[in-house]
């Protein structure tokens, strides 16, 4: 078992879940950009997570004015975040790595999700290599599938990424 799995397992609550506080120790996102609230299943090749869509948030108030819908791209982000937890679970020294969206191979948005509903994410790891992970995921509200996607995440060394991003860039 990778050292990261042991460290992540220590964050589980008495039900074996990872709550929002634990997720903030695993994922490098601030509160406003966390689109999973709880991981209810975490294994080396499968993760399940939930996200309670808030009644009001700036992204909902603006998408669409007067008819708030959870943006499909943020449902996809939730799938990627759940997948990121699973990939980190498989890595040695996950804290020294960052996972970046590399490719959206396919994504289909099949039904809307609205404030007050709970998204349930199911993501499977289909391939893990040293520098990339391929994921297949689905998002549900109850039994209704609202999204399915295939994603590739790049696995990069955090210090190398910081060095690269600190170089002067064209504006």
Selected catalytic residue, list 41, 63, 145, 150? 63
Which has the closest alpha carbon to 35: 113, 119, 138, 100?
A: 119
- DSSP 3-state helix, strand, coil percentages of the chain (rounded to 5)? 30, 35, 35
Cα–Cα distance, 84 to 27 (Å, whole number): 8
Q: What SS3 class is residue 147?
A: strand
Is 63 assigned a catalytic role?
yes
Q: What is the rounded end-to-end Cα distance, in angstroms, of the chain? A: 44
Alpha-carbon distances of 96 from 46, 148, 164, rounded to whole Å: 22, 30, 15
- How many beta carbons lie within 10 A of that of residue 49, not counting itself? 29
Q: What residues pair up with 48 in beta bridges, in sequence order?
A: 41, 122
Dihedral sign from CA coordinates of 155, 158, 159, 163: positive
Catalytic residues: 63
């Amino acid at each position: 078992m990778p050292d990261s799995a042991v460290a992540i397992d220590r964050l589980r609550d008495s039900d074996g879940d990872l709550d929002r506080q634990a997720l903030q120790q695993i994922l490098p996102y601030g509160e406003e950009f966390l689109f999973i609230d709880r991981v209810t299943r975490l294994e080396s090749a499968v993760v399940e997570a939930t996200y309670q869509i808030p009644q009001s948030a700036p992204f909902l108030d603006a998408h669409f004015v007067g008819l708030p819908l959870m943006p499909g791209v943020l449902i996809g982000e939730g799938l990627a975040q759940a997948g990121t937890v699973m990939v980190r679970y498989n890595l040695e020294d996950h804290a020294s790595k960052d996972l970046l969206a590399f490719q959206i191979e396919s994504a289909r948005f099949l039904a809307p999700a609205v404030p007050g509903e709970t998204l349930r994410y199911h993501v499977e790891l289909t391939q893990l290599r040293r520098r990339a992970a391929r994921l297949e995921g689905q998002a549900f509200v109850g039994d209704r599938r609202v999204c399915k996607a295939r994603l590739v995440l790049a696995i990069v060394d955090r210090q190398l990424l910081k060095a690269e991003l600190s170089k002067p860039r064209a504006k």
